[in-house]
Amino acid sequence: MTKRGRFITLEGGEGVGKSTNVSFVAECLQAEGLEVVRTREPGGTERGEAIRALLLDPAPQESLNVDAELLLMFAARAQHLAEKILPALERGAWVVCDRFTDATFAYQGGGRGIAKERIAILENFVQQGLSPDLTLLLDMPQEAAKQRLESRLSARHEQRDRFEQEQADFFQAVRDAYLARAADAPERFAVIDAQHSLDNVQAQLRQTLATRVATWR
């Protein structure tokens, strides 16, 4: 029987370096001879990416209801699990995902103020017990992360998405919610100090992977 693969997520506020390091983590695992599926949320499937576009679009003048936002996150996740994540884990591949349900607790919970008990109902309904084996939380002060993001937006002439238009207190609440979740589940989370150079951050990631992966094989 094929051994189930492992599910690794990268989390953190805007601009902390998730997209940059998702590839790095995938490459570290591939170098160990593992089959790796790299993906992201919201998105990861054709329908999920369509829901992502709806969620991030800054253009509509009408505000998106917070419960509708929450349900769209889980609708995209249900599709992602069924179409991509679960089949990959079942055939023994490892999945590296840029954001997952901890982001919902941080953004819709911490940021928007939805009670975590309500989010947990959807988590149980959609995930039926599945949770990441390891969550790499890239953490740094919100102001410094914002500066990184500003540099990237201006270098690439990108527009701010709907979340990136939020104010500092929103992102502070997101960071606090992430850190609270990490404190509640230290066996699943590794908190990476993301304010250092890319070399330093990747050395921390490599060390964390070496320690955790060794215990699983």
> Residue numbers of the site for ligand Z5A (CB under 6 A)?
12, 14-20, 41-42, 56, 73, 98-99, 103-104, 107-108, 148-149, 151-152, 163-164, 197-198, 201
Burial (Cβ within 10 Å: 0-12, 13-18, ≥19) of residue 13:
buried
Whether 13 and 175 have beta carbons less than 8 Å apart is answered as yes
Return the number of the residue (2 or 167) whose C-beta is nearest ligand Z5A: 167
CB-wise, 92 or 110, nearer to ligand Z5A?
110
Provide the 3-class DSSP secondary structure of residue 114: coil
Q: CB 15 → ligand Z5A: shortest distance, Å?
A: 5
Tokens linked to 35: 């089959």
Q: Is the Cβ of residue 151 or residue 211 nearer to ligand Z5A in the bound state?
A: 151
- In the complex with ligand Z5A, the residue whose CB is nearer, 94 or 107, is 107
For ligand Z5A, which is the closer residue by CB, 36 or 145? 145
Instruction: Tell the burial category of 86 from Cβ atoms under 10 Å away from its Cβ (0-12, 13-18, 19+).
Output: middle
Rounded Cα distance between 146 and 140, Å, is 10
Instruction: Give me the least distance between CB of 117 and ligand Z5A, in Å please.
Output: 17
Please state the closest distance from residue 128 (CB atom) to ligand Z5A, in A.
17
Q: How far is CA 163 from the centre of its chain?
A: 14
Cβ(160)–Cβ(153) below 8 Å: yes
Minimum CB distance to ligand Z5A, residue 215 (Å): 27
- Tell the smallest beta-carbon distance from residue 66 to ligand Z5A (Å): 10
